[in-house]
Chain A
Amino acid sequence: MKRVLGQRPAAVRDGGAGARAPARRSLMLAGILILVIGVVSAVNPAFASLRNLGDLLVQSAPVIIVGCGMTLVVLTGEIDISVGSLLGLLAALMGVFASPQHWGLPTAVVIGLTLAVGTGAGLLNGLLVTVGRVPSIIATLAMLTILRGVTEFIMGGRWITDLPPGIRALGTGGALGVPWCLWVAAAVVGVSVVIARRTPLGLRLYAVGGNAEAAGLARISTARVRIFAFMLLGLLTAVAALVAVPQQSVVESGIGVGFELVVVTAVVVGGTAIRGGTGGIAGTVLAALLLGSIRTALVFLNFGETATYWERGIQGGFILAAVLVDHLVAARQGSGGRFIGAAA
């Protein structure tokens, strides 16, 4: 495939303008993250404790895991806003599959079924977008609504409180003193980076998002690449559900509401262009950590009870500022950091 393409896409080619923008964004995010941690720790040293930073990682893990998949989908120029509803559905299904009062299936079967349903939902999204030619924002908006409806239908307003110990261990257990969700997040990040940067498939993801028509002429099956991205995102949403949902002892139907916005925000703040073609995993991971640290920082800055009410406002203002600064820097350097070209 490389031979047909002639050269690697600009986003992957070292030193290309497409590669500079994400790298610059990652550096900026890392800088701000260190700054936030530094300033808050100076005010309240407890913030820098290993335990608090660990909590921060644990809270960000689902966003990071799903964010990796979302990055790949957005790289191809598509979007999936159904991940929050899918997370809710998978949580409900896990509860129903595992709970002794319901199906009471063995842990391994529950894990297998959850992964299968997640991947299946991703496949359905991918088919709607490629074969059905439904714009991805519409297809996944419909799925957002439908899956939430199915979840509420399954839960019927009740809670599932009897998750068996085998499932609970996925959320509460760990190895070498590190919770499972962090091991899983690290593995997902590693695999996603390798897929995006080191495999022919990754090249195709960038190529489809950069210029779908050109990719098609280069004999890349744009449909198959996009279906793959959606399926991987579905699978990763299931992975996130498996390690995050059992952290709580209760499964209720509201799990995952608004989660899609957090994940898309992390991807966008991380520097992946919403029209596809440029960006990467590293930015998404850093942005997810940064968004998570703002929440914790507010608590540690001792603004009192009222601080939590400002959390979303500060996050939103922060996103605008990040996008604005990046945009201005890009405009000065003359490298295409602009998200919307006039000739979109």
Chain B
Amino acid sequence: MLHEGVIALLLILVMVLAAWLEPGFISVGAQLELSTHAFELALLALPMTFIIIAGGIDLSAGSTMALASVTLGLLHQAGTPLWLASAAAVSVGAAAGAVNGIFVSAVRIHPLIVTLATLAAYRGLAEGISLGRPVSGFPEGFQWIGAGTVLGVPVPVLVLIVAVMVAGVVLSRTVAGHWVYTIGGNELAARHCGVPVGRVQFGLYTLSGMAAGLAGVVFAARRNTAKADIGAGIELEVITAVVLGGVSIFGGRGTITGTVLGVALIHELRELVGWHWRRDELILIVIGVILVGSVLLNNLASRRRA
């Protein structure tokens, strides 16, 4: 709770700074418009929270996103109806995640190694089947998924709100959520307690792949282009947001609230710096300093209490 409090305070500070520097930035309209930019980051951060709490990691999310988006683009080009192409893209994402899940849960290879390999493999597959060429020209009805609004709220944000609520309830209120913490706390003990460790791990990586697939579809709809290089490096951003939100990289600790705060902080900082200073490199430096600073502060605080 302490960590979440600190991040929430930081978020408020950033918003106060924003109000002072750029009064237009904190208006509801501007915030709603900017909020779509956070969709991929936020959507991927939810399964990543589960995975890291369970003691794993998924580095292949960005590549899976590209693979799904390229699948969508190629099927669209071949004349497949868009709803079918989108479903296929999300399925490809889920399959990619399932492969990670099998290697982690059944073969039991360290997830860092498995997803490092599939990070290259899925990106390579996306590059290979698309030959690096972009597909664009999606019909307007499809672009609505990425840029449309319902009662003024962008569609991706509505999807996100539902996803966050489901993730929060599952993690904190269900047996499955409890298993995730147990596995991350002590995998061996969890096995001995009869927790279906393998099934939970397989499910988490599959879910992560599915989320990446959905992110790939929405990204293609928003930018009106599907290409093999999208989402490059987003996995590191997602992990940054999750860890910033107080999820322990060693597993066993963390909350969806924390992750949402972490994502919000990174999102608002990025948009504010982009809006006011228009310098991308500044965002990188600020996010890196906050990431390492928040963990350092946390360590100092826990040492004092101990």
Contacts and interface: CB of A to CB of B under 8 A. Distances in A.
Q: Do A and B come from the same complex? A: yes
A261 interface: yes
B107 A324 contact: yes
A141, A150, A274, most chain B CB atoms within 10 A: A141
Interface in A142-190: 142-146, 148-153
Contact of A152 (B107, B120, B240, B280): B280
Contacts of B103: 320, 324
B166 interface: no
B30 to A, nearest CB: 25
B191 A145 contact: no
A76 to B, nearest CB: 16
B169 interface: no
B188 A311 contact: no
A65 to B, nearest CB: 20
27 contacts: A133-B299, A134-B295, A135-B250, A141-B236, A141-B239, A143-B292, A144-B288, A150-B285, A152-B281, A153-B285, A261-B119, A264-B116, A268-B116, A275-B110, A309-B132, A313-B121, A315-B121, A316-B120, A317-B121, A319-B120, A320-B114, A320-B117, A323-B109, A324-B109, A338-B108, A343-B187, A343-B188
A138 B291 contact: yes
A315 B284 contact: no
A112 interface: no
B61 to A, nearest CB: 14
Given A143-B288, A145-B284, 15 more contacts: A133-B299, A134-B296, A145-B285, A146-B284, A261-B119, A261-B120, A312-B121, A313-B125, A316-B122, A317-B117, A317-B124, A320-B103, A320-B118, A323-B113, A327-B107
Nearest to A153: B281
Nearest to A139: B292
Interface in A106-151: 128, 132-135, 137-139, 141-146, 148-151
A315 B114 CA distance: 13
Interface in A285-344: 306, 309-317, 319-320, 323-324, 327, 338-340, 342-344
A154 B204 CA distance: 41
Contacts of A261: 116, 119-120
A41 B196 CA distance: 49
A192 interface: no
A265 interface: yes
B88 interface: no
Contacts of A313: 120-125, 127-128
B112 interface: yes
A149 B283 contact: yes
A276 B108 CA distance: 17
Given A316-B121, A320-B121, A343-B188, A268 B292 contact: no
B230 interface: no
Interface in B115-174: 116-125, 127-128, 130-132
B249 interface: yes
Given A134-B296, A306-B131, A313-B128, A265 B116 contact: yes
B289 interface: yes
A152 B282 CA distance: 9
A341 to B, nearest CB: 8
Q: Taking chain A's interface residues, is the majority helix, strand, or loop, or is none over half, making it mixed?
A: helix
Contacts of A338: 108
A275 B55 CA distance: 14
Contacts of B109: 323-324, 327, 339-340
B260 interface: no
B117 A340 contact: no
B243 interface: yes
B291 A339 contact: no
Chain B contact-residue range equals 35 or more
A323 B110 CA distance: 10
A241 B92 CA distance: 39
Contacts of A265: 116-117, 120
Nearest to A319: B117
A268 B132 CA distance: 28
Contacts of B288: 142-146, 149
A78 B108 CA distance: 20
A149 B291 contact: no
B74 interface: no
B287 interface: yes
Contacts of B124: 309-317
Given A141-B240, A310-B124, A343-B188, A316 B285 contact: no
Contacts of A312: 120-121, 123-124, 127
B240 A323 contact: no
A135 B117 contact: no
Interface in B58-78: none
Contacts of A143: 288, 292
Nearest to B243: A138
Nearest to A341: B188
B110 A128 contact: no
A310 B121 CA distance: 9
B291 to A, nearest CB: 4
Given A265-B116, A340-B110, A141 B121 contact: no
